[in-house]
Amino acid sequence: MNQERCAIGVIGMAVMGQNLALNIARKGFSTAVFNRTTAVTEKFHQERVQGEPVFPAKTMEEFVALLEPPRKVLLMVKAGEAVDAFIGKLILLLQKGDLLIDAGNSHFTDTDRRIAEAEKQGFLFLGTGVSGGEAGALHGPSIMPGGHERGYLLAGPILEQAAAQVDGGACCAYLGPRSAGHFVKMVHNGIEYAFMQALAEGYDLLHKVGGISTSRCADIFGEWNTRENLASYLTEITAAVLSHHDEDTGKPLVELILDQAEQKGTGKWTTQTALDLGVPTPLINQAVMARSLSSYSGKRKSLSSLYPTPLPVSNDSPDKDELIKDLEQALFLAQVCAFSEGFQLLESASGEFGYGLDLSTVARIWKGGCIIRSALLPHIEHAYSKLHPPLLLADPVLVPRIREALPPLRKVVALAAHHGVPVPCLGAALFSLDSWGAGILPTNLIQAQRDYFGAHTFRRRDKEGVFHEQWEKGDAQ
């Protein structure tokens, strides 16, 4: 293939970078590629490039020379130091007006810093979330760019063609200034954590309380995936995972996998940011904590003999069909609550950081390609484009469905508690819904306690103003 000036360059030839580069090249955009370790680029070019306009470079100088000005460089490398290291090298080689796209999972505050630095040097910068895993990167991910809008004018046409296409539209849109794109991707991952944990809790209940085999659980998740309540990529892959058997033992592979969930940090960042912004995200928090707790396998093992399961399954098994029906509704509500938390966090951050996010657009570009794509998203897109409910939970179309699903969720959480099966996310969904809907919460007592020991004052239901009470009247005299 003749060498030509490339429309874009991709740095980072691990799984995501390779697949995204191939995807972009297959859309007809010539693509230069570079990796810190040259052998990785060479292997990729030899083994995976089959006539696509992909041009490998051995050095950064060679890579930059391959690019058509204004140059567009997409970084798909490990978040953190690697991104700064590459930016440091690139700004010595690029020219003013060239565009840097950080498409990894960078923390949004790093992106703000990098955008400010790029601006000083005269470069354009897009902090861009990419979701869909390796298959999404190859066949069409959901792409969440934010930063310099002029940068999006340069790279948007390429990114939009590489993105998943749903209902004739690309799952890619300019989301807002500064770190808007990486913030949206972070929240996407937080929602992902919550829904994954809820699905795992559903499997645990079917298995341990319902006494249902893993293979049958796979069928149940497969059936759920065909229905409006739960149709989603995560439900689909849960069915696929549960039906997968280990070649050596013939057992369902999931039963042989250690129950210690790892994390790269995006869920934790979502929780940390929600705490900073004062937005309640109990499901996401519980999902992060559940992974953390799972990693303490030794301590869990020693405690499991101290606290045996309250009720063995055989003593008190529920009706299986009823459990399956109730769980479908409970998992639907967990999904609604997770999305509601995520969108509330996005709305709050949009105001706080001036992102100007269009929540309907966020829902639209999550409809295809990404890990949290779900039958619920077209509805969320519609809700935020037309009605803009104060909370997703208050959306008039969802309210009847939430009301219908609430009693089954209550039953499921009670059943789990009865049998000693931990359901932190399903529990958080129930307690969160109960808290939002309670009308009056016991936080009046907390205000009184605060005032008692710290003179923090309180407001009253029956009078305007701020009050402090002499709680210990005898002592005060």
Ligand X SMILES: NC(=O)c1ccc[n+]([C@@H]2O[C@H](COP(=O)([O-])OP(=O)(O)OC[C@H]3O[C@@H](n4cnc5c(N)ncnc54)[C@H](OP(=O)(O)O)[C@@H]3O)[C@@H](O)[C@H]2O)c1
CA distances to 91, 105, 115, 133, 230 from 122, rounded to whole Å, are: 10, 24, 10, 32, 47
Stretch that binds ligand X, among 71-79, 199-207, 250-258, 327-335 (CB under 6 A): 71-79
- Give CA–CA dist 192/278, Å, rounded: 20
For ligand X, which is the closer residue by CB, 1 or 85?
Answer: 85
CA distances to 194, 261, 306, 410 from 428, rounded to whole Å, are: 10, 19, 26, 11
- Smallest separation (angstroms) from ligand X to the CB of 43: 10
Pairing of strands 99-102, 72-75: parallel
Q: Return all residues near 442 (Cβ < 8 A) that are at least 6 apart.
A: none
Which one of residues 53, 56, 104, 252 is an interface residue with ligand X (CB under 6 A)? 104
Task: Tell me: does residue 48 bind ligand X (CB under 6 A).
Answer: no
Q: Which residue is nearest to ligand X (CB)?
A: 104
Which x/- pattern over 78-97 shows residues binding ligand X (rule: CB under 6 A)?
A: xx-xx--x------------
Which x/- pattern over 121-160 shows residues binding ligand X (rule: CB under 6 A)?
A: ---------xx-xx--------------------------
- Smallest separation (angstroms) from ligand X to the CB of 92: 15
- Smallest separation (angstroms) from ligand X to the CB of 263: 11
- Give CA–CA dist 434/282, Å, rounded: 12
- Smallest separation (angstroms) from ligand X to the CB of 34: 9
Task: Tell me: does residue 37 bind ligand X (CB under 6 A).
Answer: yes
Q: Return all residues near 264 (Cβ < 8 A) that are at least 6 apart.
A: 79, 105
Question: Residue 352 catalytic?
Answer: no
Helix, strand, coil percent values for the chain (each to nearest 5):
60, 10, 30
Q: What are the CB-based long-range contacts (under 8 Å, 24+) for 131-134?
A: 131/185, 131/188, 131/189, 131/366, 131/369, 131/370, 131/371, 131/372, 132/164, 132/369, 132/370, 132/371, 133/371, 134/15, 134/16, 134/19
Pick the catalytic residue: 192, 201, 328, 347? 192
Task: Tell me: does residue 77 bind ligand X (CB under 6 A).
Answer: yes
Question: Residue 367 catalytic?
Answer: no
- Smallest separation (angstroms) from ligand X to the CB of 18: 8
Pick the catalytic residue: 185, 268, 367, 411? 185
User: Judged by CB under 6 A, how many residues of this single chain contact ligand X?
Assistant: 23
The residues facing 125 across adjacent strands are 100
Which one of residues 6, 8, 10, 12 is an interface residue with ligand X (CB under 6 A)? 12
Supply the residues annotated as catalytic: 185, 192
Interface positions with ligand X (CB under 6 A): 12-17, 35-37, 40, 76-79, 81-82, 85, 104-105, 130-131, 133-134
